[in-house]
Amino acid sequence: MTSQTGAVIPQETPWWRGAAIYQIYPRSFADSNGDGVGDLAGITAHLDHVAALGVDAIWISPFFTSPMKDFGYDVADYCDVDPIFGTLADFDALVSRAHDLGLKVIVDQVYAHTSDQHAWFAESRSDRTNPRADWYVWVDPRPDGTPPNNWQSVFGGPAWTWDARRCQYYMHTFLKEQPQLNVHLTAVQDALLDTARFWLDRGVDGFRLDALNHAMADPLLRDNPPAPDDGKPRTRPFDFQIKLHSQSQPGVVGFIEKIRRVCDDYGAVFTVAEVGGSDADAEMKAFTAGNARLSSAYGFDFLYAPALTSKLVVEAMAVWTDEPGIDGAAQGWPSWAFENHDAPRAVSRWAAAANRAQFAAMKILLLVALRGNVILYQGEELGLEQDDIPFELLQDPEAIANWPLTLSRDGVRTPMPWRADAPHGGFTMGTPWLPLGAANLAHAVDRQENDPASLLALTRDALALRKANPALRLGAFDLLHADAAVLAFARSTADQGLVCVFNLSPEAVSWPAGVANAGRTIASANGGEPGQLRACAAVLFEIET
């Protein structure tokens, strides 16, 4: 791969606009003490690897005090580190080292629910008159003792669990150990904002906001309507409903504006929301519109897609334009991820085993060429594949509950391979919490570190290219061609024009008619060049503007 330096990005541009962010799942990144679980000190020890990639920031999945029923997304104390991951001092050391390396630090915030072990819930469930009695969604049963409505939980079964202390049901969108906060309540919002201030005071540079559109439910508790059968597999009762009333309430936007005001008090702080569901595009736009809401949002466009197609990319890009939004500002800024801690490895979904290496190279160039922020999940730079975890070793509560119909999230959470010949890939000296497959061991960092033809080297070059070329980081997106095999688009600013062409198929194809076929190549994969597309080839080249 080759790269060329483009014009300098204006200094007034926020650091996060067009940024590349590296997601770290702390349980599986690096274990410093041999207990088989990754930790904060392990992350700090390997930040040189992350910085060498050329990303702008790291996003660390939850490391807060938790009983780990959902591996940290069930928070028992928002303002402390779970002992399995270390201490607050370890976190401070991580932030200091990251900043020394030029990396911003983004942490998860889980505002829709807590653990049932959180002190807030312990007080709330004690009786109906305590100061936090209405901090969670509590409801009396129907006259026949059944739950108040038909809402279903993501992990299977009703979204309601009976609690004998209050003789009421409490709501939980996910596990019963994750009771739903009543974020309609101002006191709850204020408490959550205080947790944000706690981490901002410790030097974090932004937040990834988990399941934010689940933060409020309909106070009238109306039944959700049934979802029409679209032919897709339904593996859970949750899939049979349109979540009209159980999530995505208008009040979320007002809470978002409060989050933004807190972040503004601390300067240039980045916020990105995770937004899922059937109306995700509209919600992401609402959450990021204007100058008083979130910096960015990402949905599930690519995360669960069974194939990478031109149509998929075109439809995702079409949602976000340069047209003015509210407050006279541009529309919100998107973020894109091909895989994460919840979604299967992209190369395993999108490519046959025989051509995964080629496909992974093309895929990395496509990711860095998209308009918006790009999020890489740990190991994506190595081409890691989805590990197959047998039932008896599963840790994922959703997969265990819905076996065998729900694909396990454990297969994307297996340990990071650092050294191919070390026990457990150099992840731990103990027994890892999840096993590491042989195929991924072969992709270890030390096997690729000094290989200029490796995916790791290509990823570093691609990220450097994105950082150096304003057209890639900030420019407009214009579709040039899309068919079953070939995707071509332009990225441009006033003084730079790029043509980006990708062969999504494992066969050589003809150059698309009407697309420029000459220019200065700045990046290529699998032998791609202007006018020629070998199997899984990609080429980015500069044209006159």
What is the pLDDT, as a whole number, of residue 322? 72
Closest of 44, 22, 26 to residue 83, by C-alpha = 26
Q: Which residue has the tokens 């009976």?
A: 162
pLDDT, mean over the chain: 94
Alpha helices in 294-429 (DSSP H): 310-318, 346-350, 356-369, 397-401
- Does the pLDDT at position 334 exceed 70? yes
What is the pLDDT, as a whole number, of residue 7? 42
The residues, any chain, with a CB within 8 Å of residue 497's CB and separated by 6 or more, are: 471, 490, 491, 542, 543, 544, 545
Residue 351's pLDDT band (boundaries 50, 70, 90)?
Answer: very high
Angle, CA of 435, 67 and 33, to the nearest 5°: 50
Check 108, 205, 210, 461 and give the catalytic one.
210
Indicate the residue type of 468. A
What is the pLDDT, as a whole number, of residue 323? 65
Which DSSP helix (H) or strand (E) runs through 440? helix 438-441
The residues, any chain, with a CB within 8 Å of residue 452's CB and separated by 6 or more, are: none
274 carries an active-site annotation? yes
542 carries an active-site annotation? no
Indicate the residue type of 433. W
For 142-180, how does the pLDDT look when each residue is reduced to its tens digit (9 = 90+)?
999 999 999 999 988 999 999 999 999 999 999 999 999
User: In sequence order, what E strands does 243-350 have?
Assistant: 270-274, 296-298, 333-337
User: In sequence order, what E strands does 350-495 have?
Assistant: 373-377, 476-482, 486-493
Residue 199's pLDDT band (boundaries 50, 70, 90)?
Answer: very high
User: Region 243-262: what's the mean pLDDT?
Assistant: 96
What is the DSSP code string of 112-144?
SB--TTSHHHHHHTT-SSSTTTTSB-EEPPPTT
Task: Give the Cα separation of 413 and 70 in Å (integer).
Answer: 13
* Token digits of residue 126: 């004690």
User: Region 213-232: what's the mean pLDDT?
Assistant: 94
What is the pLDDT, as a whole number, of residue 325? 52
- Does the pLDDT at position 1 exceed 50? no
Lowest mean pLDDT among 4-8, 44-48, 455-459: 4-8
- Does the pLDDT at position 223 exceed 90? yes
What is the pLDDT, as a whole number, of residue 13? 86
> What phi, psi does 274 have (nearest 5°)?
-85, 125
For 268-279, how does the pLDDT look when each residue is reduced to its tens digit (9 = 90+)?
799 999 998 888
Task: Give the Cα separation of 540 and 8 in Å (integer).
Answer: 19
pTM: 0.95
Check 82, 274, 283, 410 and give the catalytic one.
274
Which CA distances in Å does 398 have to 57, 69, 270, 364, 366?
30, 11, 30, 30, 31
Lowest mean pLDDT among 5-19, 105-119, 454-468, 528-542: 5-19
Closest of 346, 212, 347 to residue 276, by C-alpha = 212
In order of their start, the domains of the chain are 20-114+184-464 (3.20.20.80), 476-543 (2.60.40.1180)
Residue 10's pLDDT band (boundaries 50, 70, 90)?
Answer: low
Residue 3's pLDDT band (boundaries 50, 70, 90)?
Answer: very low
